[in-house]
């Protein structure tokens, strides 16, 4: 296959997460965190994009763009509002989303856990609770029973390494802990929870690929930073890549490059191009991490997230083109890459940073919730339809 073309069954999609788009996820640890003054959260997630009600509008949009898949997450706090108490209404809601995806020709990619916990689970110790793997397993069993026959691809835990890092080592996500020992306990719990969830999904109806989605970066050591680099690689990536044997795919999620000096991560070089998040602009990270994930764990790869926060949509188009060129190069080299999901469909609630980070290919009016596709949405859709990387960077109209 010529570089720049994608196989017929390649999945082109956009990704979202329940808490970031649904709105009023009031029974979750994140909602509580957003409403705690000391958390540093910029905004309350509030009504988010109101996708709890407007989800079919979202699916219609994904379909109309020409994408063939949609990645979304099921919200544990809604499905199991109290321990052992499951909501048929919530399960039915997600069942309708899955069914409608099929009606619209979209492969539904379902994530079981995307950053949030029900408040009752957080109160019982969250990922430090000895119950966590069993609890996530039981929740997953219910979800699998309700929607498994329609799932196209399942992701267990979204970026378990980021949940552990941000929540237990850097103290910026709930429960805002900074403790290496507790970080290690939680990291182990992530891997055992993942296994329990894989088992629960495989024991239920439907046969579909199951995998973990891992946050990866293009990591480098600068002089004297070799030990810090090696430690980060081990704890944030390799310990997970070794734990996914027997899964059906690895989900790669990547945004930038990280450099390590003797004291840990160093600032990006002066003059380097930055995104609105402050990250180094580095779409080449996709090719780097896909190659690395495939080499280390040997599984087929799905790029389950990559994207850029940018006011200037031309930058987003450039990012997408370079990222996809990297994916095409991997495929041309025989690496089994099955899909590419842009993060994210809609400008949405970016955790601690609230509504300040426009990652979406579609803008969302904060008062009316009107969805307004950006040129990048049409651009990605055109690539998805033609399965070819066409026009050179810069050929799109600027927003």
Active site residues: 159
Q: Cβ distance 69 to 339 under 8 Å?
A: yes
CA distance linking residue 291 with residue 8, whole number of Å: 21
Interface positions, 253-272, toward ligand FCB (CB under 6 A): 253
Q: Given the complex with ligand FCB, which of 157 and 331 has the nearer CB atom?
A: 157
CA distance linking residue 16 with residue 54, whole number of Å: 13
Q: How far is the CB of 347 from ligand FCB (least distance, A)?
A: 11
Question: What are the respective helix, strand and coil percentages of the chain, to the nearest 5?
Answer: 45, 20, 35
Interface positions, 119-178, toward ligand FCB (CB under 6 A): 158-159, 162
DSSP per position, 63-101: HHHT--EEEEE--HHHH-SBTTB--HHHHHHHHHHHHHH
Of positions 343, 376, 389, 396, contacts ligand FCB by CB under 6 A:
343
What is the DSSP-derived secondary structure letter of residue 169? I
Q: How far is the CB of 309 from ligand FCB (least distance, A)?
A: 7
Q: How far is the CB of 262 from ligand FCB (least distance, A)?
A: 27
Number of residues binding to ligand FCB, judged by CB under 6 A: 12
Q: Given the complex with ligand FCB, which of 254 and 314 has the nearer CB atom?
A: 254
**C-alpha radius of gyration, the chain, whole number:** 20
Of positions 94, 350, 361, 371, contacts ligand FCB by CB under 6 A:
350
Of positions 351, 374, 379, 380, contacts ligand FCB by CB under 6 A:
351
Interface positions, 214-253, toward ligand FCB (CB under 6 A): 215, 253
Helices 51-65 + 88-103 axis angle, to 10: 10
- 6 binds ligand FCB per the rule CB under 6 A: no
- 285 binds ligand FCB per the rule CB under 6 A: no
- Lookup result for tokens 């990591």: 219
- 17 binds ligand FCB per the rule CB under 6 A: yes
Question: Which residues, in sequence order, are CB contacts of 97 under 8 Å at separation 6+?
Answer: 55, 59, 72, 108
Q: Given the complex with ligand FCB, which of 162 and 362 has the nearer CB atom?
A: 162
Helical (H) or strand (E) element with 343: strand 337-343
- Quick one: which segment of 44-52, 89-97, 321-329, 343-351 binds ligand FCB (CB under 6 A)? 343-351
Q: How far is the CB of 232 from ligand FCB (least distance, A)?
A: 16
- 302 binds ligand FCB per the rule CB under 6 A: no
Distance (Å) of CA 342 to CA 60, 278, 304, 322: 17, 19, 8, 13
**Chain contacts with ligand FCB (rule: CB under 6 A):** 17, 20, 158-159, 162, 215, 253, 305, 343, 350-351, 359
């Amino acid at each position: 296959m010529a570089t720049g073309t994608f196989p017929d069954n390649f999945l082109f999609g956009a990704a979202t997460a329940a808490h970031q788009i649904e709105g009023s996820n009031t029974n979750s640890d994140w909602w509580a965190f957003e409403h705690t003054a000391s958390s540093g959260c910029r905004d309350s997630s509030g009504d988010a994009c109101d996708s709890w009600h407007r989800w079919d509008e979202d699916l219609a949009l994904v379909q109309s763009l020409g994408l063939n898949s949609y990645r979304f997450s099921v919200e544990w706090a809604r499905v199991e509002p109290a321990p052992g108490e499951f909501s048929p209404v919530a399960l039915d809601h997600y069942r309708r989303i899955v069914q409608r995806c099929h009606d619209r020709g979209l492969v539904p990619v379902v994530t079981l856990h995307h950053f949030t916990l029900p408040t009752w689970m957080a109160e019982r110790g969250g990922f430090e609770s000895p119950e966590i793997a069993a609890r996530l397993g039981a929740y997953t069993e219910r979800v699998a029973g309700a929607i498994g026959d329609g799932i196209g691809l399942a992701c267990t835990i979204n970026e378990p390494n980021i949940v552990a890092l941000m929540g237990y080592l850097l103290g910026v996500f709930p429960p805002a802990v900074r403790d290496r020992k507790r970080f290690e306990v939680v990291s182990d719990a992530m891997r055992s929870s993942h296994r329990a969830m894989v088992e629960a999904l495989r024991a239920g109806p439907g046969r579909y690929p199951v995998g973990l989605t891992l946050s990866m970066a293009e990591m480098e050591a600068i002089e004297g930073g070799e030990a810090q680099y090696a430690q980060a690689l081990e704890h944030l990536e390799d310990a997970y890549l070794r734990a996914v044997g027997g899964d059906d795919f690895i989900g790669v999620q990547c945004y930038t490059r990280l450099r390590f000096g003797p004291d840990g991560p160093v600032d990006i070089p002066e003059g380097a191009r930055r995104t609105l998040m402050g990250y180094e602009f580095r779409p080449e990270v996709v090719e780097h991490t896909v190659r690395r994930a495939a080499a280390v764990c040997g599984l087929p790869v799905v790029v389950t997230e990559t994207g850029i926060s940018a006011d200037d949509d031309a930058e987003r188009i450039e990012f997408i083109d370079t990222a996809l060129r990297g994916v095409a190069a991997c495929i041309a080299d025989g690496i089994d890459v099955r899909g590419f999901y842009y993060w994210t469909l809609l400008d949405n609630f970016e955790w601690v940073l609230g509504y300040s980070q426009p990652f979406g290919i579609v803008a969302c009016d904060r008062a009316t919730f009107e969805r307004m596709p950006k040129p990048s949405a049409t651009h990605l859709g055109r690539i998805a339809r033609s399965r070819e990387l066409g026009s050179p960077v810069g050929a799109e109209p600027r927003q």
